[in-house]
Amino acid sequence: MSVTNRKGLDYWLPKLVLSPTIAITVIFIYGFVIWTAVLSFTRSRILPQYEFVGFEQYVRLFANDRWLGAMSNLLIFGVLFIAICLIVGLVLAILLDQNIRAEGALRTIYLYPMALSFIVTGTVWKWLLNPTVGIERFMISLGWESFVFDWIVNPQMAIYTIVIAGVWQASGFVMAIFLAGLRGIDTSIIKAAQLDGASLFSVYTRIIIPSMRPVFFSAFIMLAHIAIKSFDLIIALTGGGPGNSTDVPAIFMYQFSFQRGQLGMGAASAIVMLMTVLAILVPYLYSELRTPKNG
């Protein structure tokens, strides 16, 4: 009798322990996503209300110039941010992988911005990029009178300042991922290739970089995720301006939902953001799950 009791306890206990998290997942993650989706099909303005209007909010969203601007800004920022981070990260990782004496110290320096809040990064770069006090002023004081670097106040160029600050913050992190990937490569293959007379350059381009495909992939996913969610960096750096020139979907969602009393449209924009993340993530997870894990 006591034996079956024991088994009963060990049978139920794991489920009991997991149950708070099951509740969290069902309510706060899936439930709330569905709730947001439902809101996006309603007429909700300042307060949620459940009069359904079909896809009207989405139609309004994609007819809204600010939203289209925010999406195209995200595209520009996302592509440049991801591409530059990947290139800088990979190059730094390869350079650091050449038996560098002070590797530990350099790694620490490259990576520390990742420990900062985007608000801190934004605050610092806001003043560095400000033409009247920052880099432009500094270059002029050095004697380069005609030096101009006013991107942050130039609506055409402001989005690129977000890229500068974003790359500064996140590229060291990509370096760390790539460095871990490089260290995981079987060195005997590399030695064999070098014995066969392959140059260091071709060892990297033909063997090492292709074998790091999964690492590229996961770095890409992380960066895309950071880019789509980017909110605090832009709030601190430009506040979305000048004008709406650095507006992104996350800022649009926040302002329409919480400041302009357009809950329905805010919810629709949130769902579009989620769909964008899923569109990137699902193919990745699919390919990850299909290929059998080695080790």
- Window 72 to 131, contacts with another protein (CB under 8 A): 92, 95-96, 98, 100, 106-120, 123-128
Q: Is 218 in the site for another protein (CB under 8 A)?
A: yes
Q: What minimum distance in Å lies between the beta carbon of 126 and another protein?
A: 7
57 near 41, Cβ under 8 Å? yes
66 near 244, Cβ under 8 Å? yes
Residues 6+ apart with CB under 8 A from 257: 263, 266, 267, 270
83, 185, 193, 274: which one binds another protein (CB under 8 A): 274
2, 5, 14, 195: which one binds another protein (CB under 8 A): 14
The phi-psi region of residue 147 (left if phi > 0; otherwise alpha if psi is between -120 and 50; otherwise beta) is beta
Instruction: Name which of 159 and 170 has its Cβ closer to another protein.
Output: 170
Instruction: Name which of 159 and 179 has its Cβ closer to another protein.
Output: 179
1, 2, 4, 20: which one binds another protein (CB under 8 A): 20
Question: Contacts with another protein in 187-216 (CB under 8 A)?
Answer: 215
Instruction: Name which of 113 and 166 has its Cβ closer to another protein.
Output: 113
Question: Contacts with another protein in 44-63 (CB under 8 A)?
Answer: 48
Burial class (CB in 10 A: 0-12, 13-18, 19+), 185: middle
162, 163, 219, 265: which one binds another protein (CB under 8 A): 219
Question: Contacts with another protein in 232-251 (CB under 8 A)?
Answer: 232, 235-236, 239, 249-250
The DSSP string of 60-128 is: HHHT-HHHHHHHHHHHHHHHHHHHHHHHHHHHHHHHHTTT-TTHHHHHHHHHGGGGS-HHHHHHHHHHH
Q: How far apart are CA 228 and CA 78, in angstroms?
A: 7
Q: Is 43 in the site for another protein (CB under 8 A)?
A: no
Q: Is 269 in the site for another protein (CB under 8 A)?
A: yes
